[in-house]
Amino acid sequence: MRKLVLIFLSTLTLSFAGTAQKIAGEVKDEQGKGLEKTTISLLRSKDSSVIKLGITARDGSFELEAAAGSYLISASHIGYTTRYSAVFVLKEPIRIPEIILEKAAASLQGVTVSSQKPVIEVRADKTILNVEGTINAVGNDALELLRRSPSVMVDKDDNISLAGKNGVQVYIDGKPSPLSGTDLANYLKSMQSSQIEAIEIITNPSAKYEAAGNAGIINIKLKKNKSFGTNGSVNAGYTQGVYGKGTAGINLNHRNKNINVFGNYNYNKGNYLMKMNSERTQFDTLFLQKNEILFRNNTHGFKAGMDYFIDKFRTIGAVVNGNLASNDLNTSGPMDFIYLPTGQNDRVLKATNHNDMKRDNLNANLNYRFAKTGGAELNLDADYGFFKIRSNQFQPNYYYLSNGTTEISRAIYNMIAPTDINLYSVKADYETNYKGGRLGFGGKIGVVESDNDFQRYDVYTNGKVLDTLKSNRFKYKENINAVYVNYIKQFKKGVMIQAGLRAENTHSDGNSTGFKQVSNVMVPYDSTFSRDYTNLFPSAAITFNKNPMKQWTVSYSRRIDRPAYQDLNPFEFKLNEYSFMKGNTRLQPQYTNSFDITHVYKYRLTTKLTYSHVKDIFAQIPDTVDKTKSFMTKKNLATQDVVALNISYPFQYKWYSFFASLNSNYSHYVADFGGGDRKVNQEVFSLTYFMQNSFNLGKGWTGEVSLLYISPSVWQGLIRSDAMGNVDAGLQKVILKGKGNVKIAMSDIFRTMKWGGDTRFAGVTNRFSGNGEMQQVKLNFSYRFGNSQVKAARQRKSAIEEERKRAEAGGGQQGGMGNQ
C-alpha cells in the first residue's frame, strides 16, 4: 500500500512538473517606459515563500514558468518602491497587468518606506476611500467625506443612505456606533479628515459582521502609525467659506520589536452656515418659512494606545479614543401664514432658536491577538464606551400682524435635555484552516443603555416654570447576543465559496414617564414596552476565478435594521409652534434580502448588479394636528424593492489617472395607511456619477479634480428630491525633502451642491430647498518627523497580507493616484 501511495505521489509531482505554465508581464516607470533589470519574484500566495526569481529585459518585459497554483508577483528596482501584483491562480498561460514602479523618497539608513495608496480601491465586497491619499479631503469633516463618497447619499436632515437604501450602520474602527439621526450627524461633524485614514463602504458584509445595517456598513478607520522607531507628524489647516475655520493636530508613535505606543490629538474650531426654506400647504393655510442655521463647532479629538508583542504570535493591546465637542446651534428666520382663500398674509411668526450643546464621547478597548502566518488566528476584544450629550435650548416665538412690527402674542420656551449612553461589549473571533479552506466562528455580547431626560420650561419675565405635561424621561436598554460561523474555500477548478450564518437574539426594554391630563387633573403615566426576538442571517458568495482576468461573484445576504431609541419614544417633541416630532412604539425592525452579481475584468472594470427586497422599511411620515399643525413620525412602509447597477473603472497613463464610478438604482415604495391620500406608491430611477481625476505634474506637484452628480431621488421613502452635484479641485506640493506637503483645495466651485424636494401625504404638501456652506477654500500643511524606517521583510509581509485579503474578497481594482 505504501509503495502505491509513493508511486501515486511521484506521478502526481511529475505531472505537475511537466505541465508548467508561462507567466508574462511588464514593469514600467511612472512615464510608461519599460524598466530594465528589475528583480521579479514569484511568491506563493499562501505563505509568501519565493518560488522563482527572474529579471526584466531591456523593454521591461519578463517571463517565468511555474506549476499550477496561487501566486503573486513582486517587482523591485533600486531607487523605486517595491510593488506587488494581485494574487492570481495559474492554470494556463497568463499575462498579468503591467506593474508601475514609482521613485522612492531619499533613503536615510536601511530601507525607507514611501508607499502610495490609491485614492479609491474597489473590491468585490467593499469600496475603500483612502482619505490620506486625496487632496480634496482636506478641511472636511466625516459627514462631508461621506456626502462625497461613491454611492453614498446624505439628505437634507443628514440621514445617510447607500445605493438607494436607508439603514446604514456606521462603524468607527471596526466597532458599530450606537448613534443615529441627528446625534450621529453631529458626532460625524465633530470628526475631521485629519483624524481619518480611510472609509470602507461594505455593501455585502459576511456573517462575521453584525447583522445591523440593511444597506450595508460604512467603517471609518482612524489613523494609527505603524512605523518603527520614534516618529510623528504635525498638521494645521485653515478653511474659508462664509466664515473661517481652523484645524490643527499632532500624531506620535514609538515602535520596536516589543511594543508599539501611539497617540494623536486634533483640534477643530469654526462656524458653519446653512440656509433652509420651506413651503407647507395644510388645509386652507400656506406656511412660508426661511431659516438661517449657524453651527459653531469647537472640538477636541484624541486617540492613544499601546500594543505589546509577547512573541511573534501573540499581541495584547489597549486603545482609548474620544471626542469632546462644545457646539452652539442658532436658528433664525420668519414664518409667514398665508390664508389661501384670499391670498392674504394673515400673520408672521418670528422664532429664534439657540441651542447650547456639549457632546463628549470616550471609548476604551482591551484586545488580545494570536496569529500564525497561514494558520490559526484568535482575536478577543472587550469594549466600553459612553456618550454624554447635553442640550440647553432657548426658543422664543413672537407673533406679529402681517406688517411684521405689531406684536400679537408671544410664547417662550426653554428645553433642557441631558442624554447619557453607555455601551458594553465582549467579542471573540477565531479562524483556522479546515479541509482546504478557512473556517471562522465567534460570538459577541453587547449592551446599550440610554437615558434621556427632556425638561420643557415656560419662560416668563420673572422666571421660568417647568411644564410637566410637556416634559418626559425615556430610558432604553438593548441587549444583543450573537454567534456566527463562516467558511471560505478556493477550489482547484477556479471556484471559491464563502458561506456563513449569524444568529442574533435581541432583548430591549423602553420606559417613557411623565404626566398627562385627565379631566383637568394631572396624573403620572408610564409607557413601558419590551421586545424579545431571535433572527437568523445567512450569507453566501461564489466566485468564479479560473481566469483571473474575468472574475464573477454571486452573493446573498440577509440583514436587519433596528429602530433607534429616539424613534421609539412616544413623547411629542416640539420643534417650533407648528412643527412636532414624536416616536412610535409600534415601529418594527426592517429586514433586507440582497442578491449581488459582480464581474471584475482585468482587475479594473468592476460591474455590480444588486437586487434588494426590504420589508417594513422605515419612512418619515408627516401627519396633521389641529388642522394647522404637523408632526413627523417614523412608520413601517409595507415594502421597498431596489435594483441597483454599479460600474467603476480606474485608468492610468503616465502622469494622468482617473477613477470613475456610476451608480444607478430603481426603487419602488408601496404602503397603505388608510387609503386616499394616505397611500404611498412611488417609483423612482436615480443615478450617481463620481469621477476623480489625478495629475502627477512633476517636481513634487500633484493635482486633483473631482466631480459628483446626484440625480433626482427619494429620501426616507416619501421625499422626492431634486438633482444636485459639485466640482472640487486641489493642488499639492511635496516640500522639505519629502517630509512636508502643502495642499490647497476649493470645494463646490460652481455652487451646485444645493438640495431641494417635496412631499405629499395626508393632505399636507411640502416643498423645501436649501444649501450648506459648501463652497470653501482650504489650505493645509503637514510635516513628518523622526525615524521612517521599516524592515524590508515586514514591508513585504504587510503588502502580501493586503493582497491576500484582496484575493479572498474576489479580486479588485484601484483608482486614482494617491500621495506620499
Three-class DSSP labels, 750-784: CCCCEEEEEEEECCEEEEEEEECCCCEEEEEEEEE
Predicted confidence (pLDDT) at residue 117 exceeds the cutoff of 70: no
Residue-wise pLDDT for 154-171, tens only, equals 765 667 777 666 668 888
pLDDT at 3: 43
Name 9's Cβ contacts closer than 8 Å, sequence gap at least 6.
none
Residue type, 95: R
The larger pLDDT score, comparing residue 276 to residue 49, is at 276
C-alpha to C-alpha distance for 227 and 788, rounded to whole angstroms = 6
Hey, what's the torsion of the CAs at 87, 93, 98, 99, to 10 degrees? 40
Q: How many CB atoms lie within 10 A of CB 109?
A: 7
DSSP letter, residue 165: B
Q: How many CB atoms lie within 10 A of CB 406?
A: 11
DSSP letter, residue 80: B
Q: Look at the chain and count its residues.
A: 820
pLDDT at 788: 56
Confidence of residue 499 (pLDDT cuts 50, 70, 90): very high
Predicted confidence (pLDDT) at residue 29 exceeds the cutoff of 60: yes
Of the candidates 175, 149, 145, which has an alpha carbon nearest to the alpha carbon of residue 162? 149
Whether residue 645 contacts residue 689, with contact meaning beta carbons closer than 8 Å, is answered with: no
C-alpha to C-alpha distance for 611 and 359, rounded to whole angstroms = 39
Confidence of residue 107 (pLDDT cuts 50, 70, 90): very low
Cell 432658536 found at: 353
Of the candidates 430, 318, 443, which has an alpha carbon nearest to the alpha carbon of residue 372? 430
Distances (CA, A) of 198 to 146, 217, 627: 11, 14, 49
Predicted confidence (pLDDT) at residue 187 exceeds the cutoff of 50: yes
Q: How far apart are the first and last CA of the chain?
A: 60
C-alpha cell at 55: 529579471
Predicted confidence (pLDDT) at residue 696 exceeds the cutoff of 50: yes
C-alpha to C-alpha distance for 729 and 382, rounded to whole angstroms = 43
pLDDT at 265: 92
C-alpha to C-alpha distance for 53 and 38, rounded to whole angstroms = 11
The larger pLDDT score, comparing residue 65 to residue 354, is at 354
Q: Is 797 helix (H, G, I), strand (E, B) or coil?
A: helix
Residue-wise pLDDT for 751-776, tens only, equals 998 888 888 776 778 888 888 888 99
Cell 386616499 found at: 676
pLDDT at 201: 82
**Highest-pLDDT range among 209-213, 477-481, 806-810:** 477-481
C-alpha to C-alpha distance for 125 and 220, rounded to whole angstroms = 16
Whether residue 357 contacts residue 327, with contact meaning beta carbons closer than 8 Å, is answered with: yes
C-alpha to C-alpha distance for 148 and 332, rounded to whole angstroms = 28
Residue-wise pLDDT for 51-87, tens only, equals 777 788 888 888 888 877 788 888 888 778 788 888 8
Predicted confidence (pLDDT) at residue 133 exceeds the cutoff of 80: no
Of the candidates 707, 696, 729, which has an alpha carbon nearest to the alpha carbon of residue 820? 696
For the segment 676-681, the average pLDDT, to the nearest whole number, is 66
Residue-wise pLDDT for 780-791, tens only, equals 998 888 875 544
For the segment 690-700, the average pLDDT, to the nearest whole number, is 87
Q: How many CB atoms lie within 10 A of CB 12?
A: 10
Whether residue 425 contacts residue 366, with contact meaning beta carbons closer than 8 Å, is answered with: no
C-alpha to C-alpha distance for 520 and 338, rounded to whole angstroms = 34
Predicted confidence (pLDDT) at residue 46 exceeds the cutoff of 80: no
Alpha helices (runs of H) in 104-243, residue ranges in sequence order: 142-147, 181-189
For the segment 308-334, the average pLDDT, to the nearest whole number, is 90
Of the candidates 474, 471, 475, 476, which has an alpha carbon nearest to the alpha carbon of residue 516? 471
Predicted confidence (pLDDT) at residue 671 exceeds the cutoff of 70: no
Q: What are 404's strand-pairing partners?
A: none
Whether residue 394 contacts residue 330, with contact meaning beta carbons closer than 8 Å, is answered with: no
Distances (CA, A) of 36 to 39, 51, 114, 645: 9, 21, 21, 42
The larger pLDDT score, comparing residue 36 to residue 409, is at 409
Residue type, 171: Y
pLDDT at 8: 35
C-alpha to C-alpha distance for 730 and 777, rounded to whole angstroms = 9
Alpha helices (runs of H) in 327-421, residue ranges in sequence order: none
pLDDT at 137: 66
Predicted confidence (pLDDT) at residue 809 exceeds the cutoff of 50: no
Q: Is 801 helix (H, G, I), strand (E, B) or coil?
A: helix
pLDDT at 720: 83
**Highest-pLDDT range among 87-91, 224-228, 507-511, 672-676:** 507-511
Whether residue 560 contacts residue 505, with contact meaning beta carbons closer than 8 Å, is answered with: no
Instruction: Give me the phi and psi of 360, to 5 degrees please.
Output: -110, 135
Q: What are 674's strand-pairing partners?
A: none
Of the candidates 611, 610, 673, which has an alpha carbon nearest to the alpha carbon of residue 638? 673
Whether residue 603 contacts residue 812, with contact meaning beta carbons closer than 8 Å, is answered with: yes
Predicted confidence (pLDDT) at residue 477 exceeds the cutoff of 90: yes
For 508-532, b/e burial (b = at least 16 CB within 10 A) is bebbbbbeeeeeeeeeeeebeeebe
C-alpha to C-alpha distance for 592 and 219, rounded to whole angstroms = 20
Distances (CA, A) of 784 to 305, 654, 738, 740, 788: 20, 28, 9, 6, 9
